[in-house]
Chains A and B, each alone.
Chain A
Amino acid sequence: MPRDTSVVTPERFAEGLTYAEFLAQATVNADKFEHYHRTSPLTADDLAFFAEAVARPDGLAKIMAIAEAWCGDVYRELPTVARIAEASGAELRIFLREQNPDIMDEFLSNEGQSRAIPVVVFYRRDHRYLTHFTERAAVAHQDLADAQAAVTADLQLPAGTKLGTAPQDQRQAFITALIARIEPRLPEWQRAAIQEMRSLLATALKTTEAAAGARVTA
């Protein structure tokens, strides 16, 4: 979690890549970024929500993303974040994980053990932190857990076997079966990520704006 001492100062934020610059430096997956930008499942209601968040006097103004172009969760979600920024007027800056370990260290997940990406961080105009979203939505994590349990049963592996613990001689079968189960769920993961970002942002804005009588609904 970022704090008053965050390494992401306004000056550092301004040094981040724009979405166009991020795409220009990416050596892989240009087709996927283009596809997911064109087909982002953002609804008119989603866009209205983010536009309202930006229009508020003390509302959303900046979005920072930590990303790498090779990552599937990044190319499925970052184009949507770019669409949000484009439509709402929020300023989006992107930092490459491997070139910015100090920023990544502020947003570790899995109790500080994982450098999961993408990370999407929302700030107010004066650069105060609002909230952030990491990697994928809760429903996606649940899907993964359910799929791992199902594959474990199918392959007759010990209960509780996961990606990280599947025995090496059965990892290929485990991963292949796992991918087959989760691929049909990916569109739902995209929608869920948007909903989760909305929910996080609505809560963060409400926390400090309730006193002013402002209203933001997820």
Chain B
Amino acid sequence: MSVSLPVVYTIRGCDACVKLLDKWQAEGMAFEERRVETSQVLMDEARRYGAMVPIVVWPDGRVEQGLEGHISCFII
């Protein structure tokens, strides 16, 4: 994937997703959010990277799943 911003796959109501986005917004960080519950295309895309949201795909290709200290959501 070629991206210039981190892409974060989230689900509405996911505690860890909310916490991560709140943190990034407070830090003024730019990112692209993709809500996986809104389309099968985004759900399938997210599953290629992981099993638990939030899933972050960094511009250098690194992938992170979940958020330390918070309840994340399985999508498989």
- Residue positions of A touching B, CB distance < 8 A: 27-30, 68-73, 97-98, 113-115, 163-168, 171-172, 175-176, 179, 183
Contacts and interface: CB of A to CB of B under 8 A. Distances in A.
Nearest to B49: A172
B64 interface: yes
A97 B65 contact: no
B64 A71 contact: no
Nearest to A69: B37
B13 interface: yes
Nearest to B15: A115
A29 B64 contact: no
Contacts of B13: 68, 97-98, 115
Given A71-B75, A73-B74, 14 more contacts: A27-B39, A28-B37, A28-B39, A29-B40, A30-B40, A69-B37, A70-B43, A71-B74, A164-B68, A165-B68, A167-B68, A168-B64, A175-B50, A179-B76
Given A29-B40, A70-B36, A175-B50, A168 B75 contact: no
B37 A70 contact: yes
Interface residues of B, number: 27
B70 interface: yes
Contacts of A176: 50-51
A28 B63 contact: no
A115 to B, nearest CB: 7
Nearest to B43: A28
Nearest to B52: A175
Contacts of A73: 74
9 nearest A-B pairs in the assembled complex, by CB-CB distance: A70-B37, A28-B43, A98-B13, A72-B74, A179-B51, A175-B65, A168-B68, A28-B40, A72-B76
25 contacts: A28-B36, A28-B37, A28-B38, A28-B40, A28-B43, A29-B43, A30-B40, A68-B11, A69-B37, A70-B36, A71-B74, A71-B75, A72-B74, A72-B76, A73-B74, A97-B13, A98-B12, A163-B66, A163-B72, A164-B70, A166-B68, A171-B64, A172-B64, A175-B66, A179-B51
